[in-house]
Structure 1
Amino acid sequence: MSAESGHDEALAEAVRLRALRTPQAHERLLSLAAGHPGHAGIAYQTAWAHDSLGLEAQAVPFYQRALDGTGLPAEDRHGAFLGLGSTLRVLGRYEEARAVLGRGLTEFTDDAALRTFLAMTLYNLGEAREAVSTLLKVTAATSADPGIQAYRRAVEHYADRLDETE
Protein backbone atom coordinates (compact mmCIF):
# COMPACT_ATOMS: atom_id res chain seq x y z
CA MET A 1 0.00 0.00 0.00
CA SER A 2 1.43 3.40 -0.98
CA ALA A 3 1.56 6.38 1.36
CA GLU A 4 -0.98 8.10 -0.90
CA SER A 5 -3.55 5.31 -0.63
CA GLY A 6 -2.85 5.00 3.11
CA HIS A 7 -3.76 8.58 3.86
CA ASP A 8 -6.70 8.42 1.43
CA GLU A 9 -8.07 5.45 3.38
CA ALA A 10 -7.46 7.24 6.68
CA LEU A 11 -9.21 10.34 5.32
CA ALA A 12 -12.19 8.28 4.14
CA GLU A 13 -12.47 6.71 7.60
CA ALA A 14 -12.24 10.10 9.32
CA VAL A 15 -14.94 11.51 7.02
CA ARG A 16 -17.14 8.50 7.82
CA LEU A 17 -16.64 9.13 11.53
CA ARG A 18 -17.39 12.85 11.09
CA ALA A 19 -20.65 11.98 9.34
CA LEU A 20 -21.52 9.84 12.38
CA ARG A 21 -20.60 12.82 14.61
CA THR A 22 -18.06 10.88 16.62
CA PRO A 23 -15.39 12.71 18.65
CA GLN A 24 -12.65 10.57 17.08
CA ALA A 25 -13.24 12.22 13.70
CA HIS A 26 -11.87 15.58 14.83
CA GLU A 27 -8.79 13.99 16.40
CA ARG A 28 -8.06 11.88 13.33
CA LEU A 29 -8.47 14.80 10.96
CA LEU A 30 -6.16 17.00 13.03
CA SER A 31 -3.56 14.23 12.98
CA LEU A 32 -3.92 13.78 9.21
CA ALA A 33 -3.70 17.55 8.63
CA ALA A 34 -0.52 17.76 10.69
CA GLY A 35 1.03 14.91 8.71
CA HIS A 36 -0.13 16.18 5.30
CA PRO A 37 -0.19 20.01 5.46
CA GLY A 38 -0.35 20.38 1.67
CA HIS A 39 -3.27 18.00 1.11
CA ALA A 40 -6.26 20.18 0.16
CA GLY A 41 -8.82 17.43 0.76
CA ILE A 42 -7.60 16.75 4.29
CA ALA A 43 -7.55 20.49 5.03
CA TYR A 44 -11.14 20.84 3.78
CA GLN A 45 -12.43 17.93 5.84
CA THR A 46 -10.56 19.23 8.91
CA ALA A 47 -12.13 22.67 8.46
CA TRP A 48 -15.56 21.08 8.15
CA ALA A 49 -14.98 19.08 11.34
CA HIS A 50 -14.02 22.24 13.22
CA ASP A 51 -17.10 24.07 11.93
CA SER A 52 -19.43 21.25 12.90
CA LEU A 53 -18.05 21.42 16.46
CA GLY A 54 -18.60 25.17 16.67
CA LEU A 55 -14.86 25.89 16.41
CA GLU A 56 -15.25 28.43 13.63
CA ALA A 57 -12.07 30.43 14.29
CA GLN A 58 -9.98 27.25 14.19
CA ALA A 59 -11.66 26.19 10.92
CA VAL A 60 -10.52 29.28 9.00
CA PRO A 61 -6.87 28.33 8.39
CA PHE A 62 -7.89 24.86 7.24
CA TYR A 63 -10.41 26.29 4.76
CA GLN A 64 -7.70 28.64 3.50
CA ARG A 65 -5.25 25.75 3.07
CA ALA A 66 -7.89 23.79 1.19
CA LEU A 67 -8.54 26.67 -1.23
CA ASP A 68 -4.83 27.43 -1.65
CA GLY A 69 -4.02 23.79 -2.37
CA THR A 70 -4.49 21.83 -5.56
CA GLY A 71 -6.50 18.80 -6.50
CA LEU A 72 -9.63 19.60 -4.52
CA PRO A 73 -12.68 18.29 -6.44
CA ALA A 74 -15.09 21.00 -7.60
CA GLU A 75 -17.81 19.96 -5.12
CA ASP A 76 -15.38 20.24 -2.20
CA ARG A 77 -13.91 23.49 -3.56
CA HIS A 78 -17.44 24.91 -3.66
CA GLY A 79 -17.98 23.69 -0.10
CA ALA A 80 -14.72 25.31 1.01
CA PHE A 81 -15.74 28.69 -0.44
CA LEU A 82 -19.14 28.40 1.21
CA GLY A 83 -17.71 27.18 4.51
CA LEU A 84 -14.99 29.82 4.69
CA GLY A 85 -17.29 32.64 3.60
CA SER A 86 -20.03 31.75 6.05
CA THR A 87 -17.53 31.15 8.85
CA LEU A 88 -15.87 34.53 8.31
CA ARG A 89 -19.34 36.13 8.37
CA VAL A 90 -20.20 34.43 11.66
CA LEU A 91 -16.90 35.67 13.08
CA GLY A 92 -17.80 39.25 12.08
CA ARG A 93 -15.08 39.39 9.43
CA TYR A 94 -17.51 40.73 6.85
CA GLU A 95 -15.12 42.23 4.28
CA GLU A 96 -13.13 38.99 4.20
CA ALA A 97 -16.36 37.03 3.87
CA ARG A 98 -17.45 39.21 0.94
CA ALA A 99 -14.09 38.66 -0.79
CA VAL A 100 -14.18 34.87 -0.31
CA LEU A 101 -17.79 34.54 -1.44
CA GLY A 102 -17.02 36.77 -4.43
CA ARG A 103 -14.07 34.53 -5.35
CA GLY A 104 -16.37 31.54 -5.06
CA LEU A 105 -18.85 33.17 -7.40
CA THR A 106 -16.13 33.69 -10.01
CA GLU A 107 -15.71 29.91 -10.09
CA PHE A 108 -19.34 28.94 -9.43
CA THR A 109 -21.22 31.67 -11.24
CA ASP A 110 -24.78 32.27 -10.08
CA ASP A 111 -24.57 29.61 -7.35
CA ALA A 112 -27.62 30.15 -5.15
CA ALA A 113 -25.97 29.12 -1.87
CA LEU A 114 -22.95 31.39 -2.36
CA ARG A 115 -25.21 34.26 -3.40
CA THR A 116 -27.44 33.74 -0.35
CA PHE A 117 -24.49 33.88 2.05
CA LEU A 118 -23.20 36.90 0.15
CA ALA A 119 -26.58 38.58 0.69
CA MET A 120 -26.34 37.96 4.45
CA THR A 121 -22.82 39.41 4.41
CA LEU A 122 -23.99 42.46 2.46
CA TYR A 123 -26.67 43.00 5.08
CA ASN A 124 -24.03 42.79 7.82
CA LEU A 125 -22.00 45.39 5.92
CA GLY A 126 -24.98 47.75 5.92
CA GLU A 127 -25.70 47.24 2.23
CA ALA A 128 -29.36 46.33 2.64
CA ARG A 129 -30.43 47.31 -0.89
CA GLU A 130 -27.79 45.07 -2.49
CA ALA A 131 -28.62 42.26 -0.04
CA VAL A 132 -32.33 42.37 -0.87
CA SER A 133 -31.59 42.61 -4.59
CA THR A 134 -29.37 39.54 -4.39
CA LEU A 135 -31.98 37.56 -2.46
CA LEU A 136 -34.72 38.54 -4.91
CA LYS A 137 -32.60 37.29 -7.81
CA VAL A 138 -31.88 34.02 -5.99
CA THR A 139 -35.56 33.59 -5.18
CA ALA A 140 -36.63 34.28 -8.76
CA ALA A 141 -34.06 31.87 -10.15
CA THR A 142 -34.59 29.00 -7.72
CA SER A 143 -38.14 29.08 -6.40
CA ALA A 144 -40.57 26.44 -7.53
CA ASP A 145 -43.47 28.45 -6.11
CA PRO A 146 -46.00 29.05 -8.90
CA GLY A 147 -46.68 32.59 -7.70
CA ILE A 148 -43.01 33.53 -7.80
CA GLN A 149 -42.58 31.93 -11.20
CA ALA A 150 -45.65 33.76 -12.55
CA TYR A 151 -43.97 37.06 -11.66
CA ARG A 152 -40.37 35.99 -12.18
CA ARG A 153 -39.61 38.55 -14.88
CA ALA A 154 -41.01 41.37 -12.76
CA VAL A 155 -39.09 40.23 -9.65
CA GLU A 156 -35.85 40.03 -11.65
CA HIS A 157 -36.51 43.42 -13.25
CA TYR A 158 -37.22 45.24 -10.02
CA ALA A 159 -34.48 43.47 -8.04
CA ASP A 160 -32.09 46.14 -9.34
CA ARG A 161 -34.70 48.90 -9.21
CA LEU A 162 -36.05 48.63 -5.68
CA ASP A 163 -36.60 52.37 -5.32
CA GLU A 164 -38.10 52.87 -8.77
CA THR A 165 -41.62 54.28 -8.95
CA GLU A 166 -43.72 55.63 -11.77
Structure 2
Amino acid sequence: MLTDTVCVALSAGGLAIALLTAYRKRYLAATRIAAYALIPVGLAMTGILDWLTDLVFDPGVWLGFAVLGLSWLLFTVSRAVERRRAGAPDGAGELPPAGRAGRRPGLARRGPAANAPGTSRSGRRGSAGRSGSGDDDFSDIEAILKKHGI
Protein backbone atom coordinates (compact mmCIF):
# COMPACT_ATOMS: atom_id res chain seq x y z
CA MET A 1 0.00 0.00 0.00
CA LEU A 2 2.84 2.38 0.83
CA THR A 3 4.59 1.67 -2.46
CA ASP A 4 1.40 2.47 -4.36
CA THR A 5 1.12 5.83 -2.59
CA VAL A 6 4.75 6.68 -3.33
CA CYS A 7 4.30 5.72 -7.00
CA VAL A 8 1.19 7.89 -7.35
CA ALA A 9 2.99 10.83 -5.74
CA LEU A 10 5.97 10.42 -8.08
CA SER A 11 3.71 10.25 -11.10
CA ALA A 12 1.71 13.30 -10.01
CA GLY A 13 4.93 15.29 -9.58
CA GLY A 14 6.20 14.17 -12.96
CA LEU A 15 2.93 15.08 -14.67
CA ALA A 16 3.04 18.53 -13.03
CA ILE A 17 6.52 19.07 -14.42
CA ALA A 18 5.30 17.89 -17.82
CA LEU A 19 2.46 20.45 -17.72
CA LEU A 20 4.90 23.25 -16.86
CA THR A 21 7.13 22.16 -19.73
CA ALA A 22 4.16 22.13 -22.11
CA TYR A 23 3.19 25.62 -20.90
CA ARG A 24 6.63 26.78 -22.10
CA LYS A 25 5.76 25.36 -25.53
CA ARG A 26 8.25 22.52 -25.37
CA TYR A 27 5.72 19.86 -26.32
CA LEU A 28 8.15 17.13 -27.31
CA ALA A 29 10.00 17.34 -24.00
CA ALA A 30 6.68 17.52 -22.12
CA THR A 31 5.48 14.36 -23.83
CA ARG A 32 8.69 12.55 -22.91
CA ILE A 33 8.46 13.70 -19.27
CA ALA A 34 4.82 12.56 -19.09
CA ALA A 35 5.82 9.16 -20.45
CA TYR A 36 8.47 8.78 -17.75
CA ALA A 37 6.05 10.02 -15.09
CA LEU A 38 3.50 7.32 -15.88
CA ILE A 39 5.97 4.44 -15.40
CA PRO A 40 5.72 4.24 -11.56
CA VAL A 41 1.91 4.10 -11.65
CA GLY A 42 2.02 1.43 -14.33
CA LEU A 43 4.44 -0.66 -12.28
CA ALA A 44 2.27 -0.29 -9.19
CA MET A 45 -0.87 -1.28 -11.08
CA THR A 46 0.71 -4.43 -12.55
CA GLY A 47 1.96 -5.67 -9.18
CA ILE A 48 5.61 -5.78 -10.21
CA LEU A 49 6.60 -3.50 -7.35
CA ASP A 50 5.04 -5.82 -4.80
CA TRP A 51 6.99 -8.70 -6.30
CA LEU A 52 10.22 -6.68 -6.21
CA THR A 53 9.74 -5.60 -2.59
CA ASP A 54 9.03 -9.20 -1.62
CA LEU A 55 12.18 -10.23 -3.45
CA VAL A 56 14.41 -7.61 -1.85
CA PHE A 57 13.13 -7.79 1.71
CA ASP A 58 12.64 -11.57 1.98
CA PRO A 59 15.48 -13.28 3.91
CA GLY A 60 14.78 -16.57 2.13
CA VAL A 61 15.67 -14.97 -1.20
CA TRP A 62 18.97 -13.70 0.16
CA LEU A 63 19.67 -17.15 1.60
CA GLY A 64 19.03 -18.59 -1.87
CA PHE A 65 21.54 -16.17 -3.38
CA ALA A 66 24.06 -17.21 -0.72
CA VAL A 67 23.55 -20.89 -1.59
CA LEU A 68 24.04 -20.11 -5.29
CA GLY A 69 27.24 -18.22 -4.46
CA LEU A 70 28.52 -21.14 -2.40
CA SER A 71 27.76 -23.49 -5.29
CA TRP A 72 29.69 -21.27 -7.70
CA LEU A 73 32.63 -21.12 -5.26
CA LEU A 74 32.72 -24.92 -4.96
CA PHE A 75 32.70 -25.32 -8.75
CA THR A 76 35.54 -22.83 -9.09
CA VAL A 77 37.69 -24.45 -6.40
CA SER A 78 37.14 -27.96 -7.77
CA ARG A 79 38.09 -26.80 -11.27
CA ALA A 80 41.27 -25.15 -9.97
CA VAL A 81 42.26 -28.30 -8.08
CA GLU A 82 41.53 -30.41 -11.17
CA ARG A 83 43.78 -28.21 -13.31
CA ARG A 84 46.55 -28.32 -10.74
CA ARG A 85 46.40 -32.13 -10.55
CA ALA A 86 46.35 -32.42 -14.34
CA GLY A 87 49.65 -30.54 -14.50
CA ALA A 88 51.29 -32.69 -11.79
CA PRO A 89 54.21 -34.85 -13.03
CA ASP A 90 52.97 -37.95 -11.14
CA GLY A 91 49.87 -38.16 -13.34
CA ALA A 92 47.38 -37.70 -10.50
CA GLY A 93 44.94 -35.92 -12.82
CA GLU A 94 42.08 -37.49 -14.69
CA LEU A 95 43.16 -36.46 -18.20
CA PRO A 96 43.91 -39.22 -20.73
CA PRO A 97 47.54 -39.66 -21.83
CA ALA A 98 46.87 -37.65 -25.01
CA GLY A 99 45.85 -34.67 -22.87
CA ARG A 100 49.04 -34.90 -20.79
CA ALA A 101 51.38 -35.17 -23.78
CA GLY A 102 51.79 -31.40 -24.02
CA ARG A 103 52.74 -31.17 -20.35
CA ARG A 104 55.83 -33.40 -20.44
CA PRO A 105 58.95 -31.55 -19.32
CA GLY A 106 60.97 -32.46 -22.45
CA LEU A 107 58.53 -30.87 -24.90
CA ALA A 108 58.33 -27.19 -25.66
CA ARG A 109 55.02 -25.43 -25.16
CA ARG A 110 53.09 -24.28 -28.18
CA GLY A 111 52.86 -20.53 -28.31
CA PRO A 112 51.94 -17.86 -30.83
CA ALA A 113 54.89 -18.92 -33.01
CA ALA A 114 53.37 -22.38 -33.45
CA ASN A 115 51.31 -21.24 -36.43
CA ALA A 116 53.93 -18.94 -37.93
CA PRO A 117 54.78 -19.72 -41.57
CA GLY A 118 58.22 -21.08 -42.21
CA THR A 119 58.75 -22.61 -38.77
CA SER A 120 58.84 -26.29 -38.12
CA ARG A 121 58.45 -28.29 -34.93
CA SER A 122 62.18 -28.99 -34.81
CA GLY A 123 62.84 -25.26 -35.06
CA ARG A 124 60.88 -24.58 -31.89
CA ARG A 125 62.38 -27.27 -29.67
CA GLY A 126 65.65 -25.55 -28.96
CA SER A 127 68.95 -24.55 -30.45
CA ALA A 128 70.18 -28.16 -30.74
CA GLY A 129 67.39 -29.14 -33.14
CA ARG A 130 67.75 -26.20 -35.50
CA SER A 131 69.17 -26.74 -38.95
CA GLY A 132 70.77 -23.30 -39.16
CA SER A 133 71.59 -20.39 -36.94
CA GLY A 134 68.16 -18.84 -37.22
CA ASP A 135 68.68 -17.15 -40.60
CA ASP A 136 65.44 -18.61 -41.94
CA ASP A 137 63.52 -16.87 -39.13
CA PHE A 138 64.96 -13.50 -40.08
CA SER A 139 64.36 -14.11 -43.77
CA ASP A 140 60.67 -14.72 -43.04
CA ILE A 141 60.50 -11.47 -41.09
CA GLU A 142 62.30 -9.60 -43.85
CA ALA A 143 59.88 -11.01 -46.44
CA ILE A 144 56.88 -9.86 -44.41
CA LEU A 145 58.37 -6.40 -43.93
CA LYS A 146 59.14 -6.09 -47.66
CA LYS A 147 55.62 -7.21 -48.51
CA HIS A 148 54.19 -4.35 -46.45
CA GLY A 149 56.70 -1.86 -47.79
CA ILE A 150 58.60 -1.31 -44.56
Q: What's the TM-score once normalised by structure 2's chain length?
A: 0.25
Q: What's the TM-score once normalised by structure 1's chain length?
A: 0.24
Higher helix share: 1
Q: For the pair shown, which has the larger CA radius of gyration, 1 or 2?
A: 2
